[in-house]
Amino acid sequence: MATDVEIGARRIRVTNPATNELLREFEYASPGDVADAVRQARAAQPVWEQTSLEKRLKVVRKFQRLLSERKQQIARIITSESGKPYVEALLTEILVVLDTARFLLGESFEFLREQPVRHGSLATKTKSGRLLREQYGVIGIISPWNYPFSIPATQSLAALVTGNAVVLKPSELTPLSAFELASLLREAGVPENIFQLVPGDGPTGAALMESEIDKLVFTGSVATGKRLAQMAAGKLLPVVLELGGKDPMIVLEDADLDVAASGAVWGAFVNAGQACLSVERCYVHRSIYDSFVSLCTERAKQLRVGNGMDPETDVGPLIHDRQLRTVDRHIEDARDRGARVLAGGKRLPSRGPNFYAPTVLADVNHQMLVMREETFGPVLPIMAFDSEDEAIRLANDSEYGLAASVWTRDRKRGERIARQIKAGTVMVNDAVSCYGISEAPHGGIKASGIGRTHGKLGLDEMVRTKYVDVDLMPGTRKPWWYSYGSHVANAAEAFLDFQFASKLRRRLIGGNRSIPLISRRKL
């Protein structure tokens, strides 16, 4: 959904990117509003923290039921403000959130249970250790427009089930989905001050960062993520940053061409290419290059572009004109440098203001912007390679490292190559859908960000880890306490031999000579 904000205005105008229809207006949350929301969340959070996990999961279960019952209504809202096809709103947004609830219901008890820590050292055998996971307090979440329901919902549910309060700033382009999320959570039983929305744009997000939150989870551009990371560093504020990608797809000579071509077309054009996990670079073995390019071109031309509310639509509009300008710039640069435009390559003004034809580019190279910068549009650039090593080198030749895919009939070969690709996730014979695997962590390396969401690693980001150690002999002075002396140093050396010397005889001698470390008089 596009948003128009008049200079000096205090209202967000949310419009349908397919039609430019005005959907709703909101007032911005001022910096004072943001600070108040965080203060209210902090005051309410201790009660939520003390609420039993069983009761918090009861809320998640009710939320899941409500979402399932209202899936059509919410999917239509997602489509109206983001433009994506209705079926994608169901499968890439609603389904993902429902499954996240299923994961949390099944895993939270085990995850939050205290864990014993075994001590291997002889010096600490009289101690008992436990690992505890405790709440941060208030988690600030800044979410993007491309998945306006599933991204904030999955992150918020993880924060809430672990006992945190949440203050969410949704994208100013797509706040309606976030308001639906808030409505569902409150009806499910989340107290009002435990989950709060602060609608707004960049300054609102900056105000959230400057407030007294305990952690920030941000999904968005690299440039904004770097600025937030610099601000966080000054406060020593922990952050999770998911900053996009330039995901490579490697198609080996033994791949199923029919399947791989379909995967490439879907992976490049789902959500009009506006996904951080989109296939943005496709590398194909030269022996099958022409056939693969032909299949992708044929299928791209068959895609139906239109309003996401039309059940026949395959590809919806881009979110706003800025995205179209980026796509135009990348395609023109590629064309000027010798790439062939085999499908698309143009806007579709007859469909509406923000439509772009699904585009297939052949004969691209790494001097072109389309192979180096994140395009975030319906573009599939395809490049040939001659060897497996070259394909791996090309895939790794990027500042991004979010995800990648390898396509081959040889599973072991695919897994071996996957281990050599520098990315947070590598799929073999599929792309993009890793985000829908609730057990799998989501996040990248290099410019793609810091930290993880989803799965147990995502839950780990929502808690502080505390180690508790209890001495089982509280009436005994410890061997390492004062006072020191040469006899203590000699006994300490012997004790190290007793534990770690390579020869048995030296260990036995060390054990005998280390006795004074225990029996000596201590302060």
Please name which of 139, 135, 133 lies closest in space to residue 111, comparing C-alpha atoms: 133
Residues serving a catalytic function are 242, 276
- Three-state SS sequence of 126-195: CEEEEEEEEECCEEEEECCCCCCCHHHHHHHHHHHHCCCEEEEECCCCCHHHHHHHHHHHHHHCCCHHHE
* Three-state secondary-structure class, residue 83: coil
DSSP at 450: E
Question: Residues 448, 453, 456, 461: is their CA dihedral positive or negative?
Answer: positive
Please, what sign has the CA dihedral across residues 139, 181, 318, 378? positive
Contact 274, 245 (CB under 8 A): no
In a 3-state reduction of DSSP, which class is residue 454? coil
The answer to whether 212 touches 43, Cβ cutoff 8 Å, is: no
- Which DSSP symbol is given to 89? I
Nearest to 179 by CA among 193, 162, 198, 161: 198
Extract the runs of DSSP E, i.e. beta strands, from 28-163.
115-117, 127-135, 138-142
Amino acid at 491: A
Q: How far is CA 384 from CA 68, 259, 503, in A?
A: 44, 18, 58
Q: 304 and 312 in contact (C-beta within 8 Å)?
A: yes
Please write down the long-range contacts of 208-212, taking CB distance under 8 Å and 24 or more positions apart: 208/34, 208/38, 208/140, 208/142, 208/167, 208/169, 209/140, 209/237, 210/31, 211/34, 211/35, 211/38, 211/140, 211/167, 212/35, 212/38, 212/39, 212/42, 212/138
Q: Where are the alpha helices (DSSP H) in 270-410?
A: 289-302, 321-336, 388-396
